[in-house]
Amino acid sequence: MNRIEPIDCMHVVSEISNFIDGEVDATLRARIEEHFRMCNHCLAIFDGTRNIIKLVGDGTVFELPAGFRSRLYDKLKDHLGE
């Protein structure tokens, strides 16, 4: 049985985009997949990144409620102390 060499979180996170795009070799893919089985943090980053790509890529436009923009800016100003 082949042992998969562990990979650290920093390496996984730096390769997530390439992993999603299918641009990693089979060995690195196996190492990342094994890491996901043991690391919920990196798996959450992967899932979040994949979800963002799906949302941005689908082209759906959402109508914002009336006044949303001004309420958002007011909240940001309050938070930033402006």
Helices (H), the chain: 9-20, 26-38, 40-57, 68-80
How is residue 8 written in tokens?
């650290």
* pLDDT reported for residue 1: 55
* pLDDT reported for residue 62: 74
* pLDDT reported for residue 29: 96
- Flag residues of the chain having pLDDT under 70: 1-2, 82
Whole-prediction pTM = 0.66
